[in-house]
A and B are shown apart, each in its own frame.
Chain A
């Protein structure tokens, strides 16, 4: 590991003077924001905005979306700062900027706190303080409740912590509508119930990685069989829940078709994960469920975006 700060210590006199210079490149700081997660947040938040057909200025909507993205990035940065020790022992995360020695933990903390405060304040100024409060709650929930508390103490970590990942559509609706409506709450519920089968499918594949890091993921605590049962249970609930936007009138014909086909696909894979428990086929099908779950959520939200953002909405009822 290389030193993350270039320090010079003056040993000739007291007190000791230490000058630190960052070693991180711009791309390292960008990586601290978890860009892929940020993309998902922007995407789900954008859908949370368009389903309510906001009447506010597009510039204000854009600025709000930008602040939600930065807030999400800030919480990812604070998560990386706190989890640097376990990131270093997991193959999936050991190349992140802090364990790789490219950025000092203190820099990441300062960067994350600055972006957190900045994004909340600017969101409050450009939209409203309900949205800003919800963004602050999301950041605190992810960085403190999930990262610092739940992640290392309970196998329900990603179930409860999943609320942070599900909140962006709610924040977005609050930003453009000034209130929290049932549209964004349904989107919240879909992401929230989608999270356990998504992450537990990954945890089944990477269970040795999580065990080495000492993270009590469900397969390591309750065992793979119990995890498979719970994946199936959540998916049985998720598939019909995915159709809730149709029942509430903001999911059209295209959405109904995608949600039905995607839900059946999720169910089929969850049943396969439940049945195949040994060897390479079991790992392969868990990996397939993990990958398909991403596609499933993406398609649900992309269809809503197409229906409401591009005028393709055709009502299912009437």
Chain B
């Protein structure tokens, strides 16, 4: 816990590890990286789904309970 600028104790971890100031260009780059990572993860989910269906076919749902 650290003493925040208001003079009160704060439990916010960002107060202990403040992020460096980002220029607008750095913020844009970070946003593009985040979007690319999100798209890559989404594509991976879709790939696993499609490959599962392709490998197992309709039998994927035909399992003993």
B29–A59 touching, CB < 8 Å: no
A126–B55 touching, CB < 8 Å: yes
Q: Which of A19, A25, A29 is within 8 Å of B20, CB to CB?
A: A19
Give A32 Cβ to nearest chain B Cβ, in Å.
Answer: 13
Q: Which of B33, B51, B55 is within 8 Å of A22, CB to CB?
A: B33
* CA gap between A26 and B36 in the complex, in Å: 7
Chain B residues whose C-beta falls within 8 Å of the C-beta of A160 in the assembled complex: none
A19–B17 touching, CB < 8 Å: yes
CB-based nearest B residue for A126: B51
A63 at interface, CB cutoff 8 A? yes
Q: Which of B30, B33, B51 is within 8 Å of A59, CB to CB?
A: B51
B47–A19 touching, CB < 8 Å: no
Q: CB within 8 Å of A: which of B19-33?
A: 19-20, 22, 26, 29-30, 32-33
Q: Which of A8, A57, A59 is within 8 Å of B18, CB to CB?
A: A8
Range of interface residues on B (Cβ < 8 Å)? 10 to 19
* CA gap between A22 and B32 in the complex, in Å: 12
B60 at interface, CB cutoff 8 A? no
A57–B54 touching, CB < 8 Å: yes
Chain A residues whose C-beta falls within 8 Å of the C-beta of B51 in the assembled complex: 59-60, 63, 126
A51 at interface, CB cutoff 8 A? no
A6–B47 touching, CB < 8 Å: no
Give A57 Cβ to nearest chain B Cβ, in Å.
Answer: 4
CB-based nearest A residue for B28: A25
Chain A residues whose C-beta falls within 8 Å of the C-beta of B18 in the assembled complex: 8, 19
* CA gap between A21 and B17 in the complex, in Å: 13
* Chain A 248-271 interface 0/1 with B at a Cβ cutoff of 8 Å (1 = within): 000000000000000000000000
For A6, A22, A29, the residue with the greatest tally of chain B CB atoms inside 10 Å of its CB is A6
A26–B22 touching, CB < 8 Å: no
Chain B residues whose C-beta falls within 8 Å of the C-beta of A59 in the assembled complex: 50-51, 54
* CA gap between A8 and B36 in the complex, in Å: 25
Give A168 Cβ to nearest chain B Cβ, in Å.
Answer: 20
Give A24 Cβ to nearest chain B Cβ, in Å.
Answer: 7
Chain B residues whose C-beta falls within 8 Å of the C-beta of A21 in the assembled complex: 19-20, 22, 26, 30
A7 at interface, CB cutoff 8 A? yes
CB-based nearest B residue for A57: B54
Chain B residues whose C-beta falls within 8 Å of the C-beta of A60 in the assembled complex: 51, 54-55
B50–A25 touching, CB < 8 Å: no
* CA gap between A23 and B23 in the complex, in Å: 11
Chain A residues whose C-beta falls within 8 Å of the C-beta of B54 in the assembled complex: 57, 59-60
A17–B17 touching, CB < 8 Å: yes
Q: Which of B20, B26, B32, B55 is within 8 Å of A8, CB to CB?
A: B20
B10 at interface, CB cutoff 8 A? no
A66 at interface, CB cutoff 8 A? yes
* CA gap between A17 and B19 in the complex, in Å: 11
Chain B residues whose C-beta falls within 8 Å of the C-beta of A17 in the assembled complex: 16-17
Chain B residues whose C-beta falls within 8 Å of the C-beta of A22 in the assembled complex: 29-30, 33
Chain A residues whose C-beta falls within 8 Å of the C-beta of B47 in the assembled complex: 63, 66
Which 6 A/B pairs are nearest by Cβ-Cβ distance?
A59-B54, A8-B20, A57-B54, A26-B36, A6-B20, A25-B29
Cross-chain pairs A/B with CB under 8 angstroms, 28 sampled: A6-B20, A6-B22, A6-B26, A8-B19, A8-B20, A21-B22, A21-B26, A21-B30, A22-B33, A23-B29, A24-B29, A25-B32, A25-B33, A26-B32, A26-B33, A29-B33, A29-B36, A57-B54, A57-B55, A59-B50, A59-B51, A59-B54, A60-B54, A60-B55, A63-B47, A63-B50, A66-B47, A126-B55
